[in-house]
């Protein structure tokens, strides 16, 4: 089987799909900051840097060699999700991400690949006002694709992180397809992923790791240093210093029930919270190390996303690298999706 990874980012989906034995011919993204990271780690996949609105079907065929009506071809569409996320963002700035599914549909309509995968935030399914997903599902019906879709948690797919996502798998090759089966694993915890016992040396905030391992942490303001030290290990929250007039934050005075995770520490024996694009910032979620007085490092975040410790990330700034990691599809989730599709395809081949 072969695949095209639309909106490929840093290559999490490409990496995982490749591990399942599917040859990812190319990844497409308009962000030049993704190129070096993608190409270093996925040398057999071509990085096509372009805006999908400006890419023609004929050009994609020419560059990749793919053909129409190829049963062994998989199209993957994990488009940027700012418009659909529940996190407060400026919707005007993210409007351009709203209709990327329609652009993806243009290529599906032209090539009619044997298989399709879409991964996105749950808001793509749950938003009742917008009909973008409904339109795409109606299109699949009209093209005689069968599909399974719904909200999944990556923690049931080998990822030590609670990460709810919308997942769709479709095919016109088989008369039946299903999202991979959920498998609960109590060992998918922070303790079994990071920590000194897993090769992550004890470091301070502001530590800069110049090696490819990139065990690098953000520097904390003095007040935040005091806050994290006063936050109990293993799941402590900002409520531990809510009555300290020096440390309490004005916006949270008397509001102990909102945003309880910000400035919090991760639990050792639970999955990590969703690794977002700002996971290396103590103030943006429960991203405090379970016991060290700092936010988690770039490599710790990547590991909780199931990137190999050998996966190399390149970026001009720590924030841009954190964005690459947080936006990525966890490779282990991708591998399981790919394995499920390969099994479906092989079954069809045997039957025919």
Phi-psi category of residue 89: left, alpha or beta, with phi > 0 → left and psi -120 to 50 → alpha: beta
- Asked if 8 is an active-site residue, the reply is no
B/e letters for 302-340, b = 16+ CB within 10 Å, e = fewer, are: bbbbbbeeebebbbeebebbbbbbbbbbbbbbbbbbbbb
**What is the bridge-based pairing of β-strands 115-120 and 23-29?**
unpaired
| Residue 162: Cβ within 10 Å count | 16
Segment 80-83 long-range contacts (CB within 8 Å, at least 24 positions apart):
80/7, 80/327, 81/120, 81/121, 81/123, 81/124
How many angstroms separate the CA atoms of 90 and 165, rounded? 21
Q: Which element (helix H / strand E) includes 211?
A: none
Q: Which of 8, 34, 81, 90 is catalytic?
A: 81
Q: Which element (helix H / strand E) includes 305?
A: none
**What is the bridge-based pairing of β-strands 2-6 and 164-171?**
unpaired
Kindly list the catalytic residues.
81
């Amino acid at each position: 089987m072969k695949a095209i990874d639309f909106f490929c980012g840093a290559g999490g989906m490409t990496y995982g799909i490749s591990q399942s034995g599917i040859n990812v011919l190319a990844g497409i993204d308009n962000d030049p900051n993704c190129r070096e990271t993608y190409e270093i780690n996925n040398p057999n996949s071509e990085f096509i840097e372009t805006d999908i609105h400006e890419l023609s079907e004929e050009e994609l065929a020419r560059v990749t060699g793919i053909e129409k009506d190829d049963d062994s071809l998989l199209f993957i569409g994990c488009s940027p999700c700012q418009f659909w996320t529940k996190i407060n963002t400026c919707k005007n700035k993210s409007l351009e991400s709203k209709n990327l599914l329609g652009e993806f549909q243009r290529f599906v309509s032209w090539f009619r690949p044997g298989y399709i995968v879409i991964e996105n935030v749950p808001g793509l399914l749950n938003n009742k006002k917008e009909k973008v997903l409904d339109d795409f599902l109606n299109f699949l019906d009209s093209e005689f694709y069968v599909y399974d879709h719904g909200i999944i948690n990556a923690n049931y797919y080998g990822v030590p992180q609670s990460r709810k996502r919308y997942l769709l798998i479709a095919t016109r090759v088989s008369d039946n397809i299903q999202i991979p089966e959920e498998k609960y694993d109590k060992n998918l915890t922070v303790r079994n992923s990071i920590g000194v016992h897993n090769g992550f040396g004890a470091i301070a905030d502001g530590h800069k790791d110049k090696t490819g391992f990139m065990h690098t942490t953000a520097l904390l303001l003095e007040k935040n240093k005091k806050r994290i030290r006063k936050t109990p290990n293993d799941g402590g929250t900002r409520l531990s210093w809510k009555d300290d007039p020096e440390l309490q934050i004005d916006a949270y005075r008397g509001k102990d029930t909102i945003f309880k995770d910000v400035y919090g520490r991760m639990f050792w024996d639970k999955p990590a919270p969703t690794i977002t694009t700002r996971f290396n910032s103590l103030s943006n979620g429960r991203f405090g190390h379970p016991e060290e007085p700092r936010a988690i490092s770039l490599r710790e975040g990547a590991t909780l996303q199931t990137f190999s410790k050998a996966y190399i990330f390149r970026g001009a700034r720590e924030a841009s690298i954190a964005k690459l990691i947080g936006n990525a599809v966890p490779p282990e989730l991708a591998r399981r999706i790919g394995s499920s599709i390969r099994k479906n395809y092989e079954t069809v081949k045997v039957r025919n």
